[in-house]
Amino acid sequence: MLFELRQYRTKPGQRERWAKFMDEVVIPYQMSKGMVIVASYVGEAEDDLYVWIRRFDNESERERLYKEVYENDFWKNEMSPKIGDMIDRTKTVVTRLNPTPKSVIR
């Protein structure tokens, strides 16, 4: 089991729009392809921070789901341009995590 902790910084004034887009479009789309979205958050003190967590059974599943989600015309032509309008992709931080034996989230 592995997790991705994904931290995004939104462009000025875009966080609420981004959070709504994630909740209504991105997360449902990715879940329809088999992604497991564990959680999503906005920063309490940082008005540009959006964080979400995805879970994968193993590396081969992660690679397969990445292809399923990102390597198609819908994602490239419809989703990607909208995302670029709302987040600063240069500030994206993706941290891969492995749960410890006592971790509640698995």
pLDDT single digits (tens) 30-70: 999 999 999 999 999 999 999 999 999 999 999 999 999 99
What 78-84 contacts at long range (C-beta under 8 Å, 24+ apart), as own/partner pairs, is: 79/25, 79/26, 79/29, 82/21, 83/21, 83/26
pLDDT at 42: 98
Q: Which CATH number fits domain 2-97: 3.30.70.100, 3.40.50.300, 3.60.20.40, 3.50.50.60?
A: 3.30.70.100
Domain boundaries, the chain: 2-97
| Residue 10 CB coordination number (10 Å) | 22
pLDDT over 70, % of the chain: 100
pLDDT at 106 over 90: no
